[in-house]
């Protein structure tokens, strides 16, 4: 089994909606974030990934740790994902739209529904 180490954000807008993303060609919605590059810490990787994807600037001080979680990957066969998850509040209202990576992402969604698997995120807001 392959092991993938990522950083992800429970990112809420000013209305308390949680940002989710779906990779192109997949069905699962997930938290924004991505893989660590080189010697990056999870926080450094997350700040970099979000700066590449969002039309807003987030600083490391904006985030609080939520925890570390592992699960079978939703979109990659025979892969275990190990995620450092952090929580932050984005300084934007609902119209704030991320910059999609055209070859990677097929959609972004601010959700007000706090169901599994995002319950821990919503409890942290």
pLDDT in tens, the chain (125 residues): 999 999 999 999 888 888 888 877 888 888 989 999 999 999 999 999 888 877 677 899 999 999 999 999 988 899 999 999 999 998 776 445 556 554 455 677 778 777 656 677 777 76
Between CA 42 and CA 84 the distance in angstroms is 6
CATH, residue 48? 3.90.79.10
Expressed as residue numbers, the domain containing 116 is 2-124
- pLDDT at residue 45 in the model: 95
In a 13 Å sphere around the CA of 92, the CA atoms on its Cβ side amount to 15
Backbone angles phi, psi at 30, to 5 degrees: -145, 175
| Number of structural domains found in the chain | 1
- CA dihedral for 101, 104, 107, 109, sign (positive or negative): negative
- pLDDT at residue 106 in the model: 62
């Amino acid at each position: 089994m392959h092991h993938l180490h990522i950083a992800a954000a429970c990112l809420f807008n000013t209305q308390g909606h949680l940002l989710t993303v779906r990779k192109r060609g997949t069905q699962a919605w997930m938290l924004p974030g991505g893989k660590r590059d080189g010697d990056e810490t999870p926080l450094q990787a997350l700040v970099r990934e979000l700066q590449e994807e969002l039309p807003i600037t987030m600083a490391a001080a904006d985030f609080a740790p939520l925890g570390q979680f592992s699960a079978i990957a939703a979109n990659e066969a025979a892969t275990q994902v190990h995620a450092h998850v952090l929580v932050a509040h984005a300084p934007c209202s609902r119209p704030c739209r991320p910059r999609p990576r055209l070859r990677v992402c097929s959609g972004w969604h601010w959700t007000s529904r706090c169901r599994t698997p995002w319950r821990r995120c919503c409890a942290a807001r």
